[in-house]
Amino acid sequence: MWYPLRFAPLYFEKVWGGRRLESLLGRALPAGEPIGESWEVSDHPHGRGVIANGALAGQSLHDVMTAHPEGLLGPHAQAAGNGQFPLLVKYIDAEEALSVQVHPNDAYGLAHEGEPGKTEMWYILHADPDTCLIAGLTPGTTREAFRDALAHGDPGALLHRVPIRTGDSIYIPAGRIHAIMPGVLILEIQQSSDTTYRLYDWGRVGLDGRPRALHVEQALAVADWLDYAPGVTDNPAVPLGDNTVTRLAACEYFVVEKYDLAAPQLLGTDTGSFRVLNIVAGGGTLTWSGGDEPLTRGDSLLLPAALSDVTLTPREAMSVVVSYVP
């Protein structure tokens, strides 16, 4: 019964959003709205994805996971999501800066929000020239100094800025103060959690014309005050014949790898986990024992754990981000 699953994207209007999902990925977006997020693979209660192709079309990810957990998730991945699919995969379009924010760890999230914490990673699909992200703190920053800066209106001097370009990636563990800055389209792989604590929101108002809520005390409580000056991921590409694979992130919640393909590449099932595929450049074809599926930039697919080996064949140079549970 298993085949590559596609989902109907869940679009979220955001005050900081834009239209790059339309202009760069060819999506048909709701007319005129600033779309900040597209949830591509999700089982979170705030947005549960519905399968859009094949025999399971119309069923939610949660329905299929509940009915066939081992076939979908793999035997060792079932416990990872606390009753939900363990990852949430989304695109984020920042026309303006997101809030300066931080996410809790599992212990704090479960105790105070009723859901796990939120560790995530970002792959930069597009970055305007001279763009940066905020990640971590300038060396020597303390909780007290940050609280004082907030009280005086602007913590900017205490925030570490990381220059980025298209194709970079960066790891954002729970506790890392961060913000996505303008001019960026990001692929985000994260724990299935939607808890965000805002520290600072640039003095703007939300879509309703009112200032958005801040969560200063919670944020100060969960932030890592020794997280100084992190950078982008800088792992070497490993040759696979004519192709390469690069490890972008690895933690207890997910492993993320990027395959740069010039020739057909077999993706085996040795991880024992489902795999989420995001086509971040080029296009081609995915082939499995039951058929084939065309691939183009911006596509997101979920390969169930029980799906037999699949082959990715580039039509042109193709880059694929693959995420799974370790």
Cα 135 to Cα 177: distance, rounded to the nearest angstrom: 6
Cα 216 to Cα 156: distance, rounded to the nearest angstrom: 15
Cα 197 to Cα 216: distance, rounded to the nearest angstrom: 7
Going by DSSP bridges, is the β-strand pair 283-288/310-314 parallel, antiparallel, or unpaired?
A: antiparallel
| pTM (2 d.p.) | 0.96
The helices-and-strands tally (H runs, E runs) of the chain is 6, 23
Q: One-letter amino acid identity for 213?
A: A
Positive or negative CA dihedral for 70, 73, 78, 82?
negative
Neighbours of 50 (CB within 10 A): 16
8 A C-beta contact, residue 175 and residue 224: yes
Q: Please choose, from the candidates 121, 199, 198, 134, the residue with its C-alpha nearest in 3D space to the C-alpha of residue 160.
A: 134
**Catalytic residue numbers, as ranges:** 198
Positive or negative CA dihedral for 132, 134, 137, 142?
positive
Structural domains in the chain? 10-222 (2.60.120.10), 238-324 (2.60.120.10)
pLDDT value, residue 193: 95
Phi-psi region of 26 (alpha: psi -120 to 50; beta: other; left: phi over 0): left
Query: What is the pLDDT tens value at each position of the chain, 326 positions in all?
Result: 899 999 999 999 999 999 999 999 999 999 888 999 999 999 999 999 999 999 999 999 999 998 998 899 987 666 555 678 999 999 999 999 999 999 999 999 999 999 999 999 999 999 999 999 999 999 999 999 999 999 998 899 999 999 999 999 999 999 999 999 999 999 999 999 999 999 999 999 888 999 999 999 999 999 999 999 999 999 999 999 999 999 999 999 999 999 999 999 999 878 789 999 999 999 999 999 999 999 999 999 999 999 988 999 999 899 999 999 99
Q: Please choose, from the candidates 242, 254, 268, 313, the residue with its C-alpha nearest in 3D space to the C-alpha of residue 87.
A: 254
pLDDT value, residue 1: 81
pLDDT value, residue 229: 97
